[in-house]
Amino acid sequence: MENSADLIRRLDQLNDIGTSLSSQRNINLLLEKILLAAKGITHADGGTLYRLSEDGQHLHFEIVRTDSLGFSFGGASQITGSPVFADLSLYRPDGTANNSMVAVYAALSGKTVNIADAYTAQGFDFSGTRRFDAASGYRSKSFLTVPMKNHAGELIGVMQLINAIHPKTGQVVEFSLADQRLAESLASQAAVALTNQQLVAQLEKLFESFIELINLAIDEKSPHTYGHCQRVPALTMMLADAVDAVDHGPLADFKLSDKDRYELHIAALMHDCGKVTTPVHVVDKATKLQTLFDRIVLIDTRFEIVKRDAEIQMWQRIAAGMPTAEAEQARADFCRQCDVDRDFLRQANRGSERMNDDDIARIQRIAQTYRWRNPAGDVQPFLDANELENLTIRAGTLTYDERQTINHHIVATIRMLEQLPWPKHLKNVPEYAGGHHERMDGHGYPRGLKRDEMSWQARMMGIADIFEALTAKDRPYKDAMKLSQAMQILENFKNNGHIDPDLYDVFVRQGVYRRYGQAFLDAGQVDC
């Protein structure tokens, strides 16, 4: 009869194990804790833990431990080179239950199997065990095989313990009834803990899938910004890891736990979710006159109209008595100037070069020089007010109002994220994601925050967002920028109060820009 004090001790140990299991988030560590705990409270020399496969047809070996052989496979401390065990099929090819395997029987019946000696047991196939013993010199004797069921009564795995060791004599003995009850209790607690962790993992996966769905919708809106929502998170985490490794200076105390990393990763994935509200023709505006189509074709047509009108005027002048050569020369000069002005407007429409005051004046002069008649016969300005506004954009392709529309995506991002009931470990996602367009000098948007009003994580995302945009090779309004050029611009941003100087120094010293370039840029861009 078991000593009552020892039983109480083991019950206390079981309670402590239950608390420990409920707090463990790492699945591999959880599996290892389950098996080691079961071995500990039953004094088992060895043990195996199986998990039910997703298709419900197999038991998969997750972890094996045998103390006397020093044998370890699976779990958090898996030994490299350990043998891989084949899965156990629950059913034979003909569809009948594979009940000759004791672990399968326990799984299908839901009953614990307690065997005093595998070599004399009837009804189960232990030929594989005998082969293992012959090869290793081990003697497998007592077996305790316990099905693991969750709170809903669903099988999630099987725990098998081998060779109970008497705590005083050290001899292999049969697993006692107390051992069995304790193992069954532990298996029940472990199954619930494992199910909870699987449920958390599934919910996190579902949540991240929704994020990916939003990002895919954003990227699909424009082939010119496709991949931005994937590259910014990658660069953000590269910088975060580099900062976490710093052991001196102002960032020496900045450390990220696994939860912190996950929170930052989610924020980086969602940093542009507000772009779902941005009109496609603004997101995808490759030229100054582009809306649903590039309106430069309308201006090309007007030039053809005024050239046609010039030809009509030539014949009218000839009919009125002007010398033919003089009339033809006037028409040729006019058409030649039309072609020059048309080419200039086409170039201005691309938005690839910054326009100076002379360029702006020339566009305004073209708008006043030419006139054309619409289908109703009314004389119209050559460029309407909207076309003139767009063509006189000094840099890029966006008007002030369109840039405000683009900028509004960060306001929409913040509003969207603040509507979500974030759990405690993700409560900072709106702040991290909503701050990537702020500046250290307070001149950013939408809140005009200054450096000391922002978290390190939000500042990291600001650098990642800028650097990805500088080096992106899929923007229609600029060529792919080389690393050296992007780094020069980033240094200027550090000096003028745009980005955090300490993070910039880590970005450079730790070679984050180079690792990013090797992973995401063309070889020709990586020049430093």
pLDDT digits (tens, 9 = 90+) for 185-216: 888 877 777 787 778 888 888 988 888 888 78
The CATH H-level superfamily of 222-280+401-525 is: Hypothetical protein af1432 (1.10.3210.10)
Angstrom distances, CA of residue 353 to CA of 339, 404, 412, 498: 21, 21, 31, 23
Q: What is the pLDDT of residue 150?
A: 83
- pLDDT digit string, tens, across residues 148-180: 888 778 898 999 999 999 988 999 999 999 899
* pLDDT for the residue numbered 2: 54
Report residue 1's pLDDT band, with 50, 70 and 90 as the boundaries.
very low
Domain 4-198 = CATH 3.30.450.40: yes
Whole-number pLDDT of residue 22: 59
Q: What is residue 146's predicted lDDT score, i.e. its pLDDT?
A: 95
Which one, of 89, 71, 60, lies nearest residue 133 by Cα? 71
User: pTM here?
Assistant: 0.68
pLDDT in tens, 337-363: 999 999 999 999 998 788 999 999 999
Q: How many CA atoms lie within 13 Å of 255's alpha carbon, on the beta-carbon side? A: 5
As a whole number of angstroms, the distance between CA 58 and CA 64 comes to: 17
Please state which of the ranges 23-37, 98-112, 153-167 shows the lowest mean pLDDT.
23-37
H or E segment and range at residue 344: helix 324-350
| pLDDT of 81 higher than 50 | no
If you average pLDDT over residues 126-133, what whole number do you get? 90
Q: What is the C-alpha separation between 507 and 131, in angstroms, rounded?
A: 57
Confidence of residue 17 (pLDDT cuts 50, 70, 90): low
> What whole-number distance in Å separates Cα of residue 507 and Cα of residue 490?
10
Report d(CA 166, CA 174) in Å as an integer: 9
- Residue 254 or residue 283, greater confidence: 254
- Name the residue with higher pLDDT: 85 or 61: 61
Selection from 166, 180, 185 nearest residue 115 by Cα: 180
Tell me what pLDDT residue 186 has.
Answer: 83
Average pLDDT, the chain: 88
Domain boundaries defined on the chain = 4-198, 222-280+401-525, 296-397
